[in-house]
Amino acid sequence: MIHKGLKGVVCTETSISFIDGQQGTLLFRGYPIDYLTRHHSFEEVAHLLWYGHLPTADELTQITAKLRERRALPKHVKAIIEQLPAQLDVLSVLRTALSSCIAHNQEQPTIEDAITLTAMTPAIIAYQEALHQRKITPTLPEIRNDLTHVEHYLYMLTGSLPEPSQVKALETYMILTMEHGLNASTFSARVTASTEADMISAICSALGTMKGPLHGGAPTGVLTLLDEAAAVDNARDYIYQKVQKGERLMGFGHRVYKVMDPRAEALKEQLQQNNKDNSWLHFAMDLEALAIEVLEEVKPGRSLYTNVEFYAAAIMRELGLASHLFTPTFSASRMVGWTAHVIEQRADNVIFRPRAEYIGPLYEV
């Protein structure tokens, strides 16, 4: 039996997260994600994923200090970013710069490496953005050690202190998207780690996989979908024609969830709290309902509902982040999950090596 795309195949054990796609449940180390977004910070949830438990007060002080101390980019990383072609997309810059971040190729990946990569990722994105925008050449706003991880990311991107509601919106998104089982990019990271390659090599594999529109590249497509639907007279006809032609609606459908993605629900709730009168959000919610109806009509029984990327696009738009920053920002949060999985893979390692059924010719010579 061939399982194309490894659909439904269980190929490892994990204690990092639990997903029930029929019930729409997502737990990180046993805790429901909506509990974590309501009561805990990015730093606390990162600690939970890496160490397996929520931090004590002392542990929180330590991890917060480490994430803050490691924000500053080494000179050679800045130099690499400056040398890259201006038209290179941010995710490719991130992949290239991160490959030079940790000089030593340790035998075993460590949580210390995970913290360094997580601390540096937002700084690399912001440095590239500063160069790209030519707003600041070539320095970032001065690194501030009094700001949280999420506050500092927004501060570096804009050069000014964000509003608490903006921080809450981005922090909710970044916690919800930190980890999600064996999604394509995390699986890539684990495959690379299973060869006993180093942490950075595994993370570069994950970043490459993240880029595609069927995975981390979807939110940009969501904005295009919304903009195009807003520009036509009949949005239902537009959606219907697309699905009928076999095109995919970005932000809908999921390999695991056969109900609405719980992360999409949490983001939608967050957006509704802050934007009661936002006409663009109302349009997005109307389009969501319409698209689900059309998908059920044209693709009956496939259970296609909204996934996290649909409302991720709306959150990023609300924050004023340009669409080319969507996938890099997703990567900045998923860095925590990737690194946790690389460490888990190496703790009980078996190299991934599935087989393919040969369907080519057989010559008798």
Total site size for ligand ACO, rule CB under 6 A: 21
5 in contact with ligand ACO (CB under 6 A) = yes
243-282 binders of ligand ACO (CB under 6 A): 243, 248-255
Residue 31 pairs with which residues in a beta bridge? 28
> What sign does the CA torsion over 280, 265, 213, 155 have?
positive
- Selected from 211, 215, 236, 258, the binder of ligand ACO by CB under 6 A is 215
Residue 299 lies near ligand ACO (rule: CB under 6 A) = yes
Q: Which long-range contacts (CB under 8 A, 24 or more apart) does 275-283 make?
A: 275/318, 278/318, 280/314, 280/317, 281/314, 281/318, 283/226, 283/230
Tokens 């109302």, residue located:
282
Q: Does 214 bind ligand ACO (CB under 6 A)?
A: yes
- How many angstroms separate the Cα of 253 from the Cα of each of 173, 260, 362? 19, 9, 39
Closer residue to ligand ACO, CB minimum distance, 130 or 243: 243
309 is annotated as an active-site residue: yes
Q: How many Cβ atoms sit within 10 Å of the Cβ of residue 2? A: 8
Question: Applying CB under 6 A, does 236 fall inside the site for ligand ACO?
Answer: no
Closest distance between ligand ACO and the C-beta of residue 264, in Å? 9
Residue from the set 114, 191, 204, 304 that interacts with ligand ACO by CB under 6 A: 304
Torsion angle defined by CA atoms of residues 186, 310, 38 and 53, in that order, rounded to the nearest 10 degrees: -10
Binders of ligand ACO among 167-196, rule CB under 6 A? Answer: 183
d(CA 254, CA 310): 12
Among the options 129, 254, 288, 318, which is catalytic? Answer: 254
Tokens representing 151 are 């506050």
Q: Which CB, 70 or 248, lies closer to ligand ACO?
A: 248
Name the residues annotated as catalytic.
254, 309
Residues that bind ligand ACO (CB under 6 A): 5, 183, 214-215, 218, 243, 248-255, 295, 299, 302, 304, 307-309
